Amino acid sequence: MGRPTKRSKNDLPPLEEEAKAYVKKNRPKEKPLTSRRYLAGQALAGLLASGRGLGHVEEVKREAYNWADIMDEDDD
């Protein structure tokens, strides 16, 4: 491994700008919060608090969305 070359501080972006660019590049795109997703989150909180959410993640997620669909039908 060779000796590092000298660089002036002006050649490098400030650490804060570099961090912002990294986060912007690697952050997943946000999904819009629909009423169905909101209700599924509320149902998930209830399932986890009651201890009924201790199964497989996909089963718990499916049950939360089932509850969300049931709650959303009541609004119609």
d(CA 40, CA 57): 14
pLDDT (0 to 100) of residue 23: 84
Q: Report residue 32 CA to chain centroid gap.
A: 11
CB 37 within 8 A of CB 31: yes
The model's pTM? 0.58
pLDDT (0 to 100) of residue 4: 63
* pLDDT profile of the chain (76 residues), mean per 10: 61 80 82 93 93 85 95 77
